Amino acid sequence: MSELPPDLPRLRTVVTYLRGELGRAERALNTAEEREALAARRRPPAEPPAWLIERGIGAGRLPVRVHAGGCWDSRKTLHPHRHRPGAPGAGRRDTACPHCRPDTALGMPE
């Protein structure tokens, strides 16, 4: 850090100047954050993946269920981090979601 003046009047001047600069920097930061938030709101939502693989909670984290990308059941879980994009063949037929029926979409009727 640079050397500060030893006398009181000049120290007060430095502090006043730095408070002004801090205020300007905070206003510029707020403006940039608002601009970024507005740009994020204007972006279209990301396209959902075609297939989601829901993994279990245990240590092995094996596939529990396969969902079609827009399945409402895959969004309602308490653990959204358990869903990963994947290929429909990653799970067995008996793990197909009973709501979105990805096995039917793949042409694998019961």
57 and 99 part of one domain: yes
pLDDT-based confidence at residue 25 (cuts at 50, 70, 90): very high
61 and 100 part of one domain: yes
Q: What percent of the chain has pLDDT over 70?
A: 70
Q: What is the mean pLDDT of residues 71-99?
A: 65
Domain membership of residue 110 (yes or no) is no
pLDDT-based confidence at residue 27 (cuts at 50, 70, 90): very high
Q: What is the pLDDT of residue 54?
A: 77
Torsion of CA 80, 81, 85, 91, to 10 degrees: -90
Q: What is the pLDDT of residue 51?
A: 77
Domain extent, residue 38, equals 1-43
Does residue 37 have a pLDDT over 90? yes
* Identity of the amino acid at 100: C
* Average pLDDT over all residues of the chain: 79
